[in-house]
A = this chain, B = another copy of it.
């Protein structure tokens, strides 16, 4: 930001916020320039056009996601612990990068992920594959039940935290909060719940879930 001539980064940052907040169409070049504190024409110096800028934003976002995600997944191979760590990493990443979920969802519905196939394929080959592998390991050593398809189970696991963040306004209403939506603590609480829910679904016997029962009441 303070770098000389790093207007480019400033533009990318501003564009990411704007695209996430309002979507591709609704975001105007002029607004991005304003938010970045630079001139409209400068966007065309650094990027081919609006689409090119958008594409660059997506690439950068996905790169960070995979890098940080993989870091959160390193460590032992104990299956239940790995699942718990995965959910925690997913939740903390979304909390740290609130723009990302909206950005990705928009890309999904706006272009059927056409501008993001490369990034998603990368995620599929790294993060998602890793999660599936963990589930298979758990099934092989008997801690996880074997009558669930590992890949569908992986989607079930991912969906909980993802949906929570995508549908935050609706979730707020469902849980009886006001328009402000659930507070960050509630998101943390849900992440804990999601991990427990997933492990309960996966476990092959009830004993393996002999953890401190977290009866987490959501405050109204």
State A159–B171 Cα separation when bound (angstroms). Answer: 10
Candidates B22, B26, B116, B200; contact of A145 at CB < 8 Å = B200
B-facing residues in A1-56 (Cβ within 8 Å) = 22-26
Binds B, one of A64-72, A88-96, A102-110: A102-110
The secondary structure that dominates the A interface is helix
Residue A179 at the chain B interface, CB threshold 8 Å: yes
Residue A137 at the chain B interface, CB threshold 8 Å: no
State A158–B167 Cα separation when bound (angstroms). Answer: 11
- State whether B173 touches A117 (Cβ < 8 A): yes
Interface size class of A (residues with CB under 8 A): 35 or more
In the complex, how many angstroms separate the beta carbon of A113 from the nearest chain B beta carbon?
4
State A120–B166 Cα separation when bound (angstroms). Answer: 15
Closest to A120 in B: B173
Q: A197-B153, A214-B147 are in contact. Are A163 and B159 (CB under 8 A)?
A: yes
Q: A110-B23, A173-B120 are in contact. Are A159 and B164 (CB under 8 A)?
A: yes
- State whether A109 touches B166 (Cβ < 8 A): yes
Q: A174-B124, A196-B148, A215-B147 are in contact. Are A190 and B155 (CB under 8 A)?
A: yes
- State whether B173 touches A113 (Cβ < 8 A): yes
Candidates B116, B159, B196, B218; contact of A159 at CB < 8 Å = B159
Residue A76 at the chain B interface, CB threshold 8 Å: no
Q: Chain B residues near A123 (CB, 8 Å)?
A: 174
State A72–B151 Cα separation when bound (angstroms). Answer: 28
Q: Chain B residues near A108 (CB, 8 Å)?
A: 166-170
Provide 22 A-B residue pairs closer than 8 Å at the C-beta atoms, listed in order of the A residue. A22-B25, A23-B110, A25-B26, A105-B166, A106-B109, A113-B170, A117-B173, A124-B174, A128-B174, A147-B213, A148-B196, A148-B197, A148-B200, A151-B174, A152-B193, A154-B174, A155-B160, A155-B163, A158-B163, A159-B159, A159-B162, A159-B164
Residue A58 at the chain B interface, CB threshold 8 Å: no
